[in-house]
Amino acid sequence: MSSIALALYNERYYKQLENYNLPEEMVHFTDSPLPAIHKSKQDQERFPVVIVYDEVPVGFFVLHGWNGVQTYSDNKQALLVRGFSIDSGYQGNGIATKSMQLLPCFVKEYFPGKDEILLAVNHKNRQAQHVYMKSGFIDKGKRIMGPKGELHLYHLDITL
């Protein structure tokens, strides 16, 4: 039985993430892990997270605190998901959906006091929208213009 888990990034994952591949259609919407890790070293409110499948890092995203959230919400107890992706060699296995389903418990464990998870998804990125909605995120209709077009803001209440 394959296992999927979330882990805060540490240097032991770096070598494996060097070989991370994003599908052509995703390069437009998200960063690769290494640039995101570098940005996280410059901003103490960015927390890189690795999606681990059978102990292999196969996905990646960043949880961003208030510095990221304030563009989208006035909730200081929220975290923003940035740069979510799954390595192209592992797509189509349900890893994206499962990792998003694990996220509320992960946030409660590592970021106590947070009550909401936000993410902004490009209006053209239908595949990601489907994954997020399937994972419990809600589109409340808020839209914002980003550098690559209109973004849909999705919310996940984790107080329950």
Assign residue 92 the CATH number of its domain.
Answer: 3.40.630.30
Other C-beta atoms within 10 Å of 68: how many? 21
If one counts the domains in the chain, the total is: 1
Work out the angle at residue 113's Cα, subtended by the Cα atoms of residues 64 and 137, and round it to the nearest 5 degrees.
Answer: 60
Model pLDDT, residue 150? 93
Structure tokens at 119: 């993410």
pLDDT band at 1 (very low <50, low <70, confident <90, very high): very low
Residue 31 scores a pLDDT above 90: no
pLDDT band at 25 (very low <50, low <70, confident <90, very high): low
Expressed as residue numbers, the domain containing 93 is 4-157
